[in-house]
Structure 1
C-alpha cells in the first residue's frame, strides 16, 4: 500500500461513517446570510426575519401539478406532530414528538443518526409536540417537553451538553378544587384535568454565540378532555387562584449551556394602566373599579402570572433586537385573582438579544380572559406606508387581524381587515353563555404566516371555530365556600379553515381567501414560484396560486398535516417537505411521517 493510500484511507473511512450526506458546521456568517442561501433552510423561519418565504422557483404554477412524493421518512412515533425541519448541505434535521431528534439525508430520506430523548418526568404540561430544532457551531439544539435545552453533536447526534430550563417537579400544586368541579357540574362529566406546568416546544434561535428559548405551559390552566378518541378538546376551564409561575425567555451560551440572560414575561407592576379599551380602541368588558378594589389583595399575582412562549423569535441582526409574542396570563379565563392589564401577557414584545432587556411592548389583549395569546411568530420586512419606506414587524393574531408595527418603536401602523369572522369579542362570560368568535383557538393559532416581501403579501392559515364562554358557580356547602369557574367550550360543528392572502401595501386589505373543510393549524410556505402551501387536519397538503388563490394541487398524506412546510434544494432539484402527524388537541388523525415532494426526474 502506498504512503498516499495509507494517508487517504482513514479519511475516506471517516467520511463514509457520516452516511450518504454530511453538512458543514454552520457559523454566524452563514446564519446571517440565510436569506440569500436559496438551497438551504437554516433557521426556524428560513431567515432571521422569519418570513418563511423560499426564493426557489423550479416548482411553480405551471409545474406544481406534477408534484409527487420523492421519499417518506417515518419517525416511529404517532403523536401530535408540529415540526418544521431545517436543512443544511443536503442533511435534514428534525424533531419528533417527545423531543426526539433525527438527521436524515434530504435527498433520499434515509436516516443518518437519531437521538432518543428520555424525559425526566411523565407529567407533560403541553403534550408531546415539538416545533423544531436549531443549528449552529457544529451542534443541533432542541428544547424538550420536560423543560431542558439539549445540544447534540451535528455529525453524530451525541449529547454535548444538557441544560435545565426549569424543574417541572418544583411547580406548586394548584389551589383550585378540581374534584369538586367534576362532581358538581354534570356538564364536566368529572373529566377536568390538566395543570399549569413547564415544558418547551418551540425551536430555539441561535445568534451571536447564544441559544435563545422560551418555556411553555405556565398559562395552561385546566381543560376538559374530549369524550372520545379523535375528538377535539372539550373545553378550557378557568378557576381563580394561585398556581403556576411567570413564563420566561432566556439565552444560553452555545458552548457550555450556561444561562446568559433571562426575561420574565410577568413582573411586579404588571397591573399596568387598567385599560378600558385595547390599544387600538376596541372596548373591553371589564369592571375596572372592582379590579382596582381587589388589587391590594392580589398584589403578588404576577408571581403566578403565566405568559408562555410558543414560537422562536424573529431577529433584526442590524439592531440586535428580538421580536416575539407572549401567551395568556394565568389563571386562564379567570380574571378575578389577577386584577390589572397583566403585562406582558398576550403581547408582542421586543427585547435586546444580547441582554434580554425590554425595548418595547404592545399588548393586543389587556387582562386577557379569552385565551387570545400572541402565539404565531412575528415576521420582519420592509414596507411602504403612506409613501414612506418603513422597517416593520407584522404578526398574524388569534384575534383575526394582521398587525403591522414600526420595528423600532412598536407604534401600530395598521391592522388588516378581519381575515376570520368576529363576534362578541372581549365580552365577559355569562351564566347562559356568550358565543365568541374567534374562539379560544383563534384566528391564527401558533401557525406561522409567510411573507412575500417583494409583492407585499402576507399569507395566513386561520380557523373559524367559535366558543361558548360561561361563568358558573358551585354553591357553598357547610364546609366549603362557593367556587366560581369559567368554561370556554369550542363549538362541536360549523368550524372551518380560511387560507388568506393579505395585501400589505393596501393597508391590510384581503387579496383573496379560500375556505377549507378543516380549521387550519400548521402554517404556510410561500415561494418565488408563485405558490403558497398549507395543510389540513384531514391529511390534504395543498398548493394555491399566490396571486389568485386558486387551488392548483393537493395530495392526501394519510394523517393530519398540522405542521409548517419548508422548501430546499439538493443537487439542483427543489423539494417541498412537511410533517404529516396530526394533532390530538384538535382531533386530527395522528401519524409520524415527514414527506418530501419534488418534480419527476
Structure 2
C-alpha cells in the first residue's frame, strides 16, 4: 500500500470523505454505515491489542420472540438480509416479516415493534427489507421503511405511524391495485428531506414476463407529508433522451431496469446515486434491440427535482443479468495526485468503475472494446462494451480450458469433457441456443449472474482510499431463456460436484483507488478442501463462494462466509466462520465460529462505552439471528 504523505493530509481527506461523517462515530446511521455506503466505522476499541478478547456478547432471534410465540405458523425466511441501524442508543431492524423493531443495542431485546396497519389483516409472511432509513433528531426522528406495496414512516421513539404522512402513515407505491410491488427488497434513502425509493411493479395475470415486468421507475417523496415530488423514468418514454437506445420503439414494452438493492447520496451536492438493473428479459434481448438505457447504468439524480445530472452505462444490451448490484461508494480520494469527489462502483463483471461524483467524468480511462457477436436467432448483441483500463479486474473473466480445475489429472479430464458440451469464450460471450446446430447445451460464462461482486458490495477506507471487495468465481449457463424460465440460467457444477474452475471460489481483493493498483488478494475461507476427491491433497484455503458483506474499521476488515440459505449460492459454499483480516496484508488476525453462515452485512457501533459488531446469520436448518460480538 502507498501510504499518505502526512497525517495532516490523511485527516483532511477523512474530513472531506464526507458524505457520511456527519453521523456521530458511535452510531451506524445508514445501511452502509454512512450515506456514502463506505461500510466504514472509525471505532477502534476493537484493535490489534484487543481482538483476541472478542467473544459473542449476545444472540437474539431476527423477529420478536413474542410475535413468533403468538403466531407459531408464521412463514419466515432464514435468509435474513437486513443491516441494522443504530442511532442515539437504539437499534432498528427490519425483522423476518419486514416489520420494524426497535431493540436495545446492548442485549438485542425488543423495545417496540411496528404494529399491523389499521384495517389490514395480521401479517403472516414476508421478508426483511435490506435497509431502513432514519431522518430527523430527538422527538422528531422518523424511521422510513418499505413493506409489501407500501412506504411507511414511523415515530422513532414509539413506533407509531405518523398520521400526517400519506394516508395515516403510509403511501401506496402501486400505480394500480392490480399490480404487485417489489421483486426484491427495496431500500429507501433520505437525502435532504426527500425519500428516494426504487423497486418495481409487476402486472398480475400476465404469463409473458416481458409484459408483466413493468419499469422500475425511481421516485421521490416529501419526508414530512409523503407527497410525490418526482419520478425518473428508468426506461425513457416518448421524446425523452435515451428512448432512441430502445430500437423499434421497444421502450414501449421495456421492463424492470430497477434498483433492487440500495442507494447512496451526497447531501452537499444534493445528489442521489442510482445503480440500475438489467432490463427484461435478463438473458434474451430480441424484443428490446439497442443499448437499452438506463439499464445497467449508474445514474446521478438531483434529489430535489429528479433531474438526471449524469449517467454511465456499464453494460450495453445486457444478456447476462449483469445488474449494478450495489450503490457506489462515495469519498474524496487523491487520484493521480489530485483530490477528487469519487463515486466508486463495483460490478458483477468484476470491473471497478470510478467517476467524479459531481460531473460523471471517469477517474481512469474507459474504452469501448469489441466483444463477441451473438449466435442466437434474431439477437443483436452490442458490438462493444465499456472496459475500465484501471483498476484491473478483481475476479476472473471468460471461460477457457485454462480456467478449469487441475487438482488431479482425472478431475481435469472430467472438467474438460464437461466444458466441451457448451459454447464458451471471452468476457461478454452471449448466451446461445440449447440444442442448436452444434448440439451444445448453451454458453458457459464467467463471472456468472451472481458476480463478481453482488449486493453485499465492497468497503472503502476514507483515510487511505483503499477499497476491499469480496467476490465469487462461479460460472453459469446462459441459453435460450425466452423458451424457458429464468432459472434456466444455472450454476455450472463441475466434476464430482466440485466447482468447474480453479480456486479461489470466494476472495477478497484490496485495491488502492488513488493509483488503481491492486495491493493483495486472499481466499475467504477454506472452501471444499474436505471434499472426498480433495481431502488427501493438503490444499491451501480455496475460498467460499457465499455472498459475504464487508465491514471496515480503523483496524480491521471483518467478513463472514455467507450461507447456503442465500439466493443462488452454489453447492459446497458458505460457512460459519467470521473473521478479522489485516487491512495491509490480508492475513487472518482473528476468527470465530458463529454456528451459522452470515446472511446480512455486519455493522459496528458504540453503546455504553463498548464497541459492538453485529451481523445477521441464518441457515437452511438454522433460524435467523442477530449475533453481537464485543470485547469480553
After superposition, the Cα gap between the structure-2 partners of 1:364 and 1:251, relative to the gap in structure 1 and judged at 3 Å, is same
Q: Could you list the runs of 5+ residues in structure 2 that have no partner in the other structure?
A: 1-17, 64-75, 163-168, 365-389, 399-425, 435-439, 528-543, 564-574
Q: Could you tell me which residue of structure 2 aligns to residue 375 of structure 1? A: 325
The yes-or-no answer on 1:529 pairing with 2:539 is: no
| Partners of 1:449 and 1:458 within 8 A in 2 | yes
The yes-or-no answer on 1:471 pairing with 2:458 is: no
SS in 2 for 1:83: coil
Q: Could you tell me which residue of structure 1 aligns to residue 131 of structure 2? A: 132
Cα drift, residue 314 of structure 1: 1.5
Q: Could you tell me which residue of structure 2 aligns to residue 252 of structure 1? A: 221
Write the deviation string for residues 506-532 of structure 1: whole angstroms up to 9, x where unpaired: 314243322433324242110012333
Q: Could you tell me which residue of structure 2 aligns to residue 100 of structure 1? A: 99
After superposition, the Cα gap between the structure-2 partners of 1:242 and 1:560, relative to the gap in structure 1 and judged at 3 Å, is same
Write the deviation string for residues 53-96 of structure 1: whole angstroms up to 9, x where unpaired: 10011101332122111111213454221111111122100112
Separation (CA, whole Å) in 2 of partners of 1:370 and 1:440: 6
Separation (CA, whole Å) in 1 of partners of 2:190 and 2:321: 29
Cα drift, residue 573 of structure 1: 1.2
SS in 1 for 2:80: coil
Q: Could you tell me which residue of structure 2 aligns to residue 389 of structure 1? A: 339
Separation (CA, whole Å) in 1 of partners of 2:551 and 2:133: 19
The yes-or-no answer on 1:591 pairing with 2:623 is: yes
SS in 2 for 1:454: coil
SS in 2 for 1:98: coil
Write the deviation string for residues 132-177 of structure 1: whole angstroms up to 9, x where unpaired: 2111233443443422111112111122201111167523xxxxxx
1:204 to 159, 171, 188: 188
| Partners of 1:499 and 1:515 within 8 A in 2 | yes
Q: Could you tell me which residue of structure 2 aligns to residue 398 of structure 1? A: 348
The yes-or-no answer on 1:164 pairing with 2:151 is: no
SS in 2 for 1:392: strand
SS in 2 for 1:141: strand
Higher strand share: 1
Separation (CA, whole Å) in 1 of partners of 2:199 and 2:120: 16
Cα drift, residue 117 of structure 1: 5.4
Q: Pairwise mapping of residues 75-114 of structure 1 onto structure 2 (< 5 A)?
A: 75-76=62-63, 77-114=76-113
| Partners of 2:192 and 2:270 within 8 A in 1 | no
Q: Pairwise mapping of residues 62-461 of structure 1 onto structure 2 (< 5 A)?
A: 62-76=49-63, 77-115=76-114, 128-137=127-136, 138-160=140-162, 161-166=169-174, 169-171=177-179, 198-199=182-183, 201-216=185-200, 241-268=210-237, 272=242, 295-296=247-248, 299-414=249-364, 415-423=390-398, 424-430=426-432, 431=434, 432=440, 433-461=442-470
Separation (CA, whole Å) in 2 of partners of 1:577 and 1:484: 37
| Partners of 1:239 and 1:485 within 8 A in 2 | no
After superposition, the Cα gap between the structure-2 partners of 1:33 and 1:434, relative to the gap in structure 1 and judged at 3 Å, is closer
Write the deviation string for residues 489-546 of structure 1: whole angstroms up to 9, x where unpaired: 1123418311222221231424332243332424211001233334422232221111
The yes-or-no answer on 1:491 pairing with 2:441 is: no
| Partners of 1:168 and 1:199 within 8 A in 2 | no
Separation (CA, whole Å) in 1 of partners of 2:215 and 2:458: 27
After superposition, the Cα gap between the structure-2 partners of 1:502 and 1:589, relative to the gap in structure 1 and judged at 3 Å, is farther
| Partners of 1:219 and 1:305 within 8 A in 2 | no
The yes-or-no answer on 1:46 pairing with 2:33 is: yes
Separation (CA, whole Å) in 2 of partners of 1:597 and 1:571: 14
TM superposition score normalised by structure 1: 0.76
Separation (CA, whole Å) in 2 of partners of 1:346 and 1:526: 27
After superposition, the Cα gap between the structure-2 partners of 1:455 and 1:121, relative to the gap in structure 1 and judged at 3 Å, is farther
The yes-or-no answer on 1:59 pairing with 2:46 is: yes
Separation (CA, whole Å) in 2 of partners of 1:498 and 1:542: 13
Cα drift, residue 311 of structure 1: 3.0
Q: Could you tell me which residue of structure 2 aligns to residue 231 of structure 1? A: none
Quick check: 330-339 or 533-542, which moved more?
533-542
Cα drift, residue 114 of structure 1: 1.1
| Partners of 1:525 and 1:564 within 8 A in 2 | yes
SS in 1 for 2:315: coil
Write the deviation string for residues 386-439 of structure 1: whole angstroms up to 9, x where unpaired: 222211100111110121112122222234221111103211222321110110
Separation (CA, whole Å) in 1 of partners of 2:357 and 2:612: 33
Q: Could you tell me which residue of structure 2 aligns to residue 288 of structure 1? A: none
TM superposition score normalised by structure 2: 0.72
| Partners of 2:319 and 2:431 within 8 A in 1 | no
| Partners of 2:221 and 2:228 within 8 A in 1 | yes
After superposition, the Cα gap between the structure-2 partners of 1:215 and 1:264, relative to the gap in structure 1 and judged at 3 Å, is same
Cα drift, residue 380 of structure 1: 0.8
Q: Could you tell me which residue of structure 2 aligns to residue 564 of structure 1? A: 601
Q: CA RMSD in A?
A: 3.2
| Partners of 2:134 and 2:141 within 8 A in 1 | yes
Quick check: 566-575 or 239-248, which moved more?
239-248
Cα drift, residue 36 of structure 1: 5.5
| Partners of 1:219 and 1:307 within 8 A in 2 | no
Cα drift, residue 328 of structure 1: 1.0
